[in-house]
């Protein structure tokens, strides 16, 4: 199995997951890179993204699995794809890896909190995440439900930022997963006077349970 690590930033953050999959499959075709497809009357490319990114969020650590055919040198793939991908999508590396996605347990993320009328004291934000229980509405297959996100936050810190405040956190990536935007939702619930006017999210790194980088 081969993996691509790529970034999705700038205006590309508004591409939906379905749009992204179509773009990447067309990019392989336009770059002349043969990849494994299903058989039958309507073959489709075997490509899959490890953890689909929510629309509007950015990332510098996205991972896509695929299988190249015809002995294509993996080291040549990033440059070939980057010449045909739209702005904001950029392949960082391509490599062999049999590491199963189930070992990708955590994400390191950055959440920038922007304020129109000046940032609140950092203590108001940290006090929210010092709570033993943080209940917020989380979307699920059966609709929204109130869940405690505190166990899904493995590390968190708050600091200053030119646009307001910034949260750096390590959160659960799957089984269960935590959308970083729920960190801002928790602030809105428990410290409404410190609720941000705008939130920007970026994934920084994929991690395994022991804190090592997942590749």
Domain count within the chain: 2
**Is the separation of the CB atoms in 194 and 187 below 8 Å?**
yes
In whole angstroms, give the CA distance from residue 21 to residue 155.
Answer: 32
Q: Express each pLDDT in 74-119 by its tens digit.
A: 999 999 999 999 999 999 999 999 999 999 999 999 999 999 999 9
Alpha-helix runs per DSSP H in 31-156: 77-82, 122-129
Identify the domain containing residue 166 by its residue range.
103-207
- Average pLDDT score over the chain: 94
pLDDT above 90 coverage of the chain, percent: 87
Distance CA 66, CA 50 (A): 11
Where residue 38 falls among pLDDT bands split at 50, 70, 90? confident
Helices (H), the chain: 17-30, 77-82, 122-129, 181-190
CATH number at 26 reads 3.30.70.580
| Residue 62 belongs to a domain | yes
The structure's pTM equals 0.91
Examine the domain organization and report whether 57 and 127 are in the same domain: no
Within this chain, do residues 159 and 71 fall inside the same structural domain, yes or no? no
Whether 141 shows a pLDDT value over 80: the answer reads no
Do the Cβ atoms of 174 and 106 come closer than 8 Å? Answer: no
CATH number, domain with residue 188: 3.30.70
Say if residue 194 is in the same domain as residue 173. yes
User: Are the beta carbons of 154 and 171 closer than 8 angstroms?
Assistant: yes
């Amino acid at each position: 199995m081969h993996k691509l690590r790529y970034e999705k930033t700038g205006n590309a953050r508004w591409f939906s997951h379905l749009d992204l999959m179509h773009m990447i499959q067309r990019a392989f075709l336009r770059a002349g890179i043969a990849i494994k497809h299903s058989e039958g009357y309507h073959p489709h490319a075997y490509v899959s993204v490890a953890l689909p990114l929510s629309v509007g969020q950015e990332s510098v650590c996205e991972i896509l699995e695929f299988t190249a055919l015809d002995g294509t040198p993996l080291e040549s793939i990033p440059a070939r794809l980057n010449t045909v991908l739209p702005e904001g999508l950029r392949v960082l590396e391509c490599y062999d890896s049999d590491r199963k996605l189930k070992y990708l347990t955590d994400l390191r993320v950055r959440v920038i909190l922007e304020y129109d009328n000046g940032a609140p004291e950092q203590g108001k934000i940290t006090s929210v995440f010092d709570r033993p229980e943080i209940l917020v509405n989380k979307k699920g297959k059966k609709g929204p439900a109130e869940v405690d996100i505190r166990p899904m936050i493995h590390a968190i810190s708050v600091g200053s930022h030119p646009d307001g405040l910034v949260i750096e956190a390590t959160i659960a990536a799957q089984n269960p997963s935590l959308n970083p935007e729920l960190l801002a939702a928790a602030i809105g619930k428990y410290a409404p006077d410190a609720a941000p006017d705008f939130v920007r999210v970026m994934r920084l790194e994929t991690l395994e349970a022991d804190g090592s980088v997942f590749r």
